[in-house]
Amino acid sequence: DSGVTQTPKHLITATGQRVTLRCSPRSGDLSVYWYQQSLDQGLQFLIQYYNGEERAKGNILERFSAQQFPDLHSELNLSSLELGDSALYFCASQGASGANVLTFGAGSRLTVL
């Protein structure tokens, strides 16, 4: 167990729908990152939050958004879903010190039918 908890583990939904993925970082970690893993694009950085504030955006679509709450858990919202959004979505957390490593959760597998 990495200490990073992601729910749900699996999610099946239809095109056009909206889903929310949830992440609880390791205890004490202030940074949360979201990554997408797909066969087409590989592992890609989507967005980073640090202590409740957005810090950086990567290849995140406008239909996707995220937030980090005061208790440091984070949610990734995916809307107007398309078939191509089917992928594994990983959350990772990093400690307050920049030298700390990035620790990944087990991921949420999204299937859009």
Q: Which residues 55-84 are close enough to bind another protein by CB under 8 A?
A: 55-56, 58
Is 33 a binder of another protein (CB under 8 A)? Answer: yes
What's the residue count for the chain? Answer: 113
- Selected from 5, 13, 38, 50, the binder of another protein by CB under 8 A is 50
Contact with another protein (CB under 8 A) among 21, 24, 25, 48? 48
Rule CB under 8 A: is residue 4 a binding residue for another protein?
yes
CA distances from 84 to 10, 33, 53 (A): 16, 21, 28
Q: Tell me the Cα Rg of the chain.
A: 13
Rounded to whole angstroms, the Cα distance separating 79 from 77 reads: 6
- Say whether residue 107 binds another protein (CB under 8 A): yes
Angle, vertex CA 11, rays to CA 5 and CA 15, nearest 5:
135
Q: Which residues bind another protein (CB under 8 A)?
A: 2, 4, 31, 33, 42-45, 48, 50, 55-56, 58, 90, 92, 94, 98-107
